Structure 1
Amino acid sequence: MPLPRHAPRRPGMPRRHGPARRGALGLALLLSLLAGPALAQERAFQPPADATIQRDSREARRLSAPGLRGPVGTAPRQASLDLAIREVAGRIWNPNTGRHDRVRLRGYVDAGLPRGARVLADRIVAPTIRVTPGDTVRMTLRNELPAEPDCPVGGGHDGPGCFNSTNMHSHGLWVSPTGNSDNVLLDLRPGSVFQYEYNIPADHPAGTFWYHPHRHGSTALQVASGMAGALVIEGSRKPGARADEPGDIDVLTRGMPEKLLLFGQIPYGCFRDGLVQTVADGADKGQFTCAEGETGLVQSFFQQLGFGTMPFPGWGGTGRFTTVNGEVQPVFTMTAGRVERWRLLHAGTAAQIGVSLRPVAPGRAVPPGGVPAAQAEAFVASACGAARLPLFEIQTDGLTRAAVRETAVDWLQSGYRSDLLVAAPEPGLYCLVDEPDPATTTTRTLQPQALLGIVRVLPAPQRVTLAPAALVRDALVRAAQARLTGPARDRVLAELQDRAGIRLASFTWHRPILASELTGRQTLEFQVNDLDPQPPGGPPPQPTAAYLVDNAAYDPAVVNRQLPLGGVEEWTLTANQFPHAFHIHVNPFQVVSATTADGKDAFAVDPLYAGMKDAWKDTLLVNQGYTVVIRTRYQRYIGEFVLHCHVLDHEDQGMMQNVVVTPPGVAARRVAAEAHRH
């Protein structure tokens, strides 16, 4: 029986309705019923639905060239999909009240589903796009949001606004930044229909990437509304006989249960007379509140997400909660001793997340239906043990590490992705915790610890005797023994069984950049300069700070940096006030060094930088007063794109620059780059 169009079967997946699948579902249901009560009241973890993708077919070819007549042939390695941006009605559980709040948010909807297909109710998370290296991905984007008559002609790129105008960014993909590829300089008004085309190179690394809007002025508010989805590159390439012929880490993780955790931070609120309603007094004063039956919206930049404005309370003071795939405090299920691959994606706009797994203390129960907000901090402190299950990071920002990194807390900034291998040796309940911000966080108010979810670990068929690190190493070794041959097999096994740690050199796609390769240098400073405070009792909140890069706010008419195709450069990054997440499009970078304000090695003393030395990333925290050095190659692609702070409200208020890569001897349009090159 073929799968329905809305659930395409990937190689190696069982058929969704086959006997094996039905049997597995039945067994899982039986075990979960044995493991604990109140399942009907729990919000079970659900992965985002996979986007409907037409592959290598007459239908795919028709979708790739709408309006053409005549014979239609096949197009090898072609993947076509159709996304609409609409106002989506849903609900979010609120631990403050113990009930679900109704919300109406801007969201991505799979427009490729056949008519009459059943869509899960109350899902506010975007579909996951799964493609492979070498694919030509054609994505039709339909902006079906309400018209905005007040949005000025030309887009109004001088600050936050035009919140229903949009475009698309394939964050982290190594593709062209121009034309109808990853072009974030486009302005797609309501009613627009536009087809993006991403030619993913055959040598693109397999990993976890994502997509989100990137129109300057509306980026933060749209992402805060939940407009973000995972974009997964799946690979099956095996390492070659030579050490310089890498393979995909998927070869070793194939067959492991996989969980995609898309973290959202949605500051929805209910409005009266144009103002967000807040709690008037008490311990929760200033938190957003909605009366029962009201519908929460995300529509005011300065009241709901404008860091640096008053009286915005910061994410921790909004009274809203980090969602996992659109749910607050979902319940996960694992099996003891079985290694899983978790793809973590921070799709929020600002507040960092520190992910840990803590065993629930013996005899402690989890309240049916979830932990109330008033009890959450005490519950984590008393019921979630101080011990943390080790997590094993294999990729950062979609790029495989040279070696597995073991950590107790996995820190994510806005835009970060982290692929982990997770194994629980003992059955029972575990807390998925957002750890309190470390003392090195240079924000005015530190975020407290919070409960992200509960993990129910079911008993294994046989008693597990190995520790998590041994379970992970054993799973990788067994996969290499079963799937690799010849010299590659011998080399990979030697790496995995290295006494110094689990090495993954045969699965890394970027060569380290040596000092001898450098052809130039760049400097960049993120700056927040305070403005005069607003008088009390004045108009709705406005900015109280200027957000700049190198003393200038974003100007769409200026190219700030002209970079040479084929160049290899070292960048020095600093920030004068607050932490900022540096993100540059197209080419990833290698993290070389990070020095604290008092001259210490941040890799050694700051948990937010632990394990980052020599890692390859596309987004990186620049803490206040720190000096961070990265290196990058400008390979293959020319054209204009941007760099910016990925604290997205900072970007929309001006913390962004235009960048262009050109062949040697080619002049860009108006350039203001000379101050940064030396």
Structure 2
Amino acid sequence: MFGCSSFLLFFLVFNVESSTDCSHSKPCINITGGGAFVEPEVVKSTNGRLAYTLNVDMANCIFDWLTIHRRLYNGKLAGPTITVQQGDNVNITVKNNLLPPEGIVKHNSFQKPNATNLHTHGLHIDSTSPSDDVFIEIPPGGNFTHVYQIEEQNPPGTYWYHAHLHGATMFHVQGGMSGLLIVEDPDNENTTALIRSVSCPFNCEHDIKLLFQPTLQYVDLDGLGFGSLQKSIGDPSVFRHLTVVNVTTNETLEDWLKEVDNKVNYYTTNGLLQPVMNFSAGQTKRFRMVNAGGLTTLEMTIVDENEVNACDFYEIAIDGVYLNKPRMPRFRKTLLVPAARVDWLVVCNKPGNYKLVSQPSPADQISMGSFNRFNNTLLSIIVTGSASNTAIDTTINLPQRPSYVGDFTQLKEDEVHGQFVIEANSVTNLNREHFRTPTYYRYKIELGKYQQWFLINTDNNKGHPMHIHVNHFQIISYNNYTGPYSLKGDKNPVTNQTEWKLFDQNNTACYFQHSGLSASDINVTANGKIGLQYLGHAARANTGVGLLGYSDIGDFRDTVLVPPLANITIRFLPHKFTGNKTIHCHILAHEDSGMMYVVDVVKPGESLNANVPSGNAYPGTCHINDPFPFNKRSAGVSGTTYRPLWIIGAVLGSIALICIVCAVVQMCR
């Protein structure tokens, strides 16, 4: 049996054990999938408008012998696919039918499982209320109508929506509160014949939507299997798997599901476990694929029955933005970090049985760091008919992008007006502080002024996928990393926060630390000398040798993996929308724990005062002579670096002191 039902209906009708020998009291390692492929319900705008309600309810979903209890949109694991056009007016009412109380309330921690909100991930959209404001909170029994004015130039492409309440984001997204959001290609000269042939609204039968959700990730990856999330956030026992499976040890099904050897670690595709799709040899399909998760990478390829790469597939869009031309994925794989999307053109010329899989390679770890990497089948494909020789023309141009996602690789010195550093570390904060409030701005940006930022990671072990709301950014370069590394200590018994400290690459404690440092006994002797084996991303990314973790230079993204000890230059143009813009790690447990902050986009001429440093420490700095940002402008753009304000003040103060001394000496003469 497969499918979802309301919580009440389940207990009235479906509260029965599986017909197999496996059950909640006698679990089996294998969970069988393989039903027919279907797409989620489609909700589409008409005449430039859409009004729709997403109901948030408890539902029960059955996979073979396992029944799971989830908060879902409209009772479905894959929420409805919302399809709009450029310029549409879209009203989405989120009706929270969950019952009070909202649950645990604790800032920068797992909290409020029964409260919610909504984020339109990747859209170029107003981030203030009542639009894409992720700081709206819809309590149990409440509702809120989001009013989205789709931008006239929003790139047509593949996006998604999901719950984004701080403290509950991981729990809700891993649980299945997400759906596809498609901005259709317009019926004008910019939509090429190739795109028309595989895309709605022109040829919908070839436009395949694939929402990959970490629905059955119960194995305790970093302590974040779904059963552990339920326990941590205080999910009521009726929704957990507390059936005893071993009376001798008192082991529950929840305990059993967490164990690695039991292999309960599956993504679902459109709410189904490893469904089966059929199409004809020689047909060209458009696969729109979304990693709708918050923990695990997908490393996508198509293989035949012998696990050999098969079919032809070409990337045409990344994170909703078209490339210049179709291209073969590097190493015939596409990396989808949590939140990422890709659009492929797919053609299978030989009849046979194929699989769409996530297939990680150990060789790529050096470009990613320690990361949870999914290794399993997502979709089976049966290709029928006669063999063909259909080829995809990779020389043709794809639809032209709007100017705010044009090409910024050749910007001149005087065209870049803002520089900033986003610094990740080995504990869950950004720029050396945990998230405070939606109005505690860590930086301010002038609307319409090109920005050049550096994404750095002082974590010597883990990669962090960094997501910037509203504005897509272009990957400019991977740079030599010369900054500090962060070292974790013990938990502070007073603050309950993990202590951490920064060291330079010679293992000397940095002069500049962070405002929360209270322990002085963290050192490389007591806490273990840190290996810096991940250094060298610039050389590896530039040679492109065997490393899937690096983004292609020139691509536009809204989420990018920042490997350990990395420094990536990005550029973007803040276009049209002022107001707060949220930045966070898309390992959503990190975001919920405070690895997030807000920057503010202001009109030209308004104040740019912001809370850039943590105490006296600027992101990327370690010692007194370090510049901020600590790298000169990259990609061939020469120019000055920006030093911390205290250095500027010290220099000016020294000059003033010299002048005073000279004046006194002159008077004495």
Provide the TM-score with structure 1 as the length reference: 0.67
Residues 646-657 of structure 1: pairs in structure 2 closer than 5 A: 646-657=586-597
Q: Is the 8 A contact 1:174 1:204 kept in 2?
A: yes
Larger radius of gyration: 2
Instruction: Give the drift of 1:142.
Output: 0.5
Aligned match of 1:571: 453
Aligned match of 2:436: 555
Counterparts of 2:278 and 2:260 in 1: how far apart (Å)? 29
Counterparts of 2:450 and 2:193 in 1: how far apart (Å)? 25
Give CA-to-partner distance per residue, 1:365-408, whole Å, 9 cap, x none: xxxxxxxxxxxxxxxxxxx3323333201000011001211121
Aligned match of 1:263: 212
Instruction: Give the drift of 1:453.
Output: 2.7
Counterparts of 2:212 and 2:362 in 1: how far apart (Å)? 20
Partner SS for 1:142? strand
Aligned match of 2:561: 621
Aligned match of 1:663: 603
Counterparts of 2:585 and 2:129 in 1: how far apart (Å)? 24
Q: Is the 8 A contact 1:567 1:634 kept in 2?
A: yes
Q: Is the 8 A contact 2:449 2:573 kept in 1?
A: yes
Give CA-to-partner distance per residue, 1:287-314, whole Å, 9 cap, x none: x9xxxxx987499xxxxxxxxxx99979
Q: Is the 8 A contact 2:443 2:608 kept in 1?
A: no
- C-alpha change, 1:249 and 1:187, in structure 2 (3 Å) is farther
Instruction: Give the drift of 1:502.
Output: 3.9
2:285 to 322, 337, 340: 340
Q: Is the 8 A contact 2:153 2:402 kept in 1?
A: no
Does residue 1:388 correspond to 2:388, yes or no?
no
Aligned match of 1:217: 167
Q: Is the 8 A contact 1:84 1:143 kept in 2?
A: yes
Counterparts of 2:226 and 2:104 in 1: how far apart (Å)? 26
The one-letter code sitting in structure 1 at the alignment partner of 2:293 is G
Residues 446-485 of structure 1: pairs in structure 2 closer than 5 A: 447=373, 449-460=375-386, 463-466=387-390, 470=391, 472-473=392-393
When the two chains are superposed, the root-mean-square deviation of aligned CA atoms in Å is 3.3
Instruction: Give the drift of 1:455.
Output: 0.8
- C-alpha change, 1:315 and 1:625, in structure 2 (3 Å) is farther
Counterparts of 2:241 and 2:475 in 1: how far apart (Å)? 35
Instruction: Give the drift of 1:611.
Output: 6.1
Residues 218-237 of structure 1: pairs in structure 2 closer than 5 A: 218-237=168-187
Counterparts of 1:628 and 1:608 in 2: how far apart (Å)? 15
Give CA-to-partner distance per residue, 1:453-512, whole Å, 9 cap, x none: 32100114xx4134xxx2x22xxxxxxxxxxxxxxxxxxxxxx6xxxx443264666320
Does residue 1:518 correspond to 2:416, yes or no?
yes
Aligned match of 2:357: 433
Partner SS for 2:70? strand
Q: Is the 8 A contact 2:155 2:183 kept in 1?
A: yes
- C-alpha change, 1:673 and 1:142, in structure 2 (3 Å) is farther
Counterparts of 2:324 and 2:338 in 1: how far apart (Å)? 23
Q: Is the 8 A contact 2:287 2:343 kept in 1?
A: yes
Partner SS for 1:251? helix
Partner SS for 1:608? coil
Partner SS for 2:265? coil
Aligned match of 1:81: 52
Aligned length: 494
Q: Is the 8 A contact 1:429 1:454 kept in 2?
A: yes
- C-alpha change, 1:335 and 1:522, in structure 2 (3 Å) is same
Give CA-to-partner distance per residue, 1:614-646, whole Å, 9 cap, x none: 011111111112221110011110011210011
Aligned match of 1:202: 152
- C-alpha change, 1:337 and 1:41, in structure 2 (3 Å) is same
Instruction: Give the drift of 1:145.
Output: 1.3
Does residue 1:136 correspond to 2:89, yes or no?
yes
Residues 299-448 of structure 1: pairs in structure 2 closer than 5 A: 319-360=264-305, 384-407=306-329, 408-441=332-365, 442-444=368-370, 447=373
Q: Is the 8 A contact 1:573 1:629 kept in 2?
A: yes
Does residue 1:170 correspond to 2:110, yes or no?
no
Partner SS for 2:539? coil
- C-alpha change, 1:149 and 1:218, in structure 2 (3 Å) is closer
Partner SS for 1:266? strand
> Gapped runs of 5+ residues in structure 2?
1-31, 232-236, 243-254, 480-533, 620-628, 630-641, 643-669
Aligned match of 2:635: none
Instruction: Give the drift of 1:666.
Output: 2.6
Aligned match of 1:61: none
Aligned match of 1:504: 398
Q: Is the 8 A contact 2:91 2:146 kept in 1?
A: yes
Counterparts of 1:448 and 1:198 in 2: how far apart (Å)? 34
Counterparts of 2:140 and 2:346 in 1: how far apart (Å)? 43
Aligned match of 1:114: none
- C-alpha change, 1:90 and 1:278, in structure 2 (3 Å) is closer
Q: Percent identity?
A: 26
Give CA-to-partner distance per residue, 1:152-180, whole Å, 9 cap, x none: 4xxx4332111111111101111110020
- C-alpha change, 1:317 and 1:177, in structure 2 (3 Å) is farther
The one-letter code sitting in structure 1 at the alignment partner of 2:473 is F
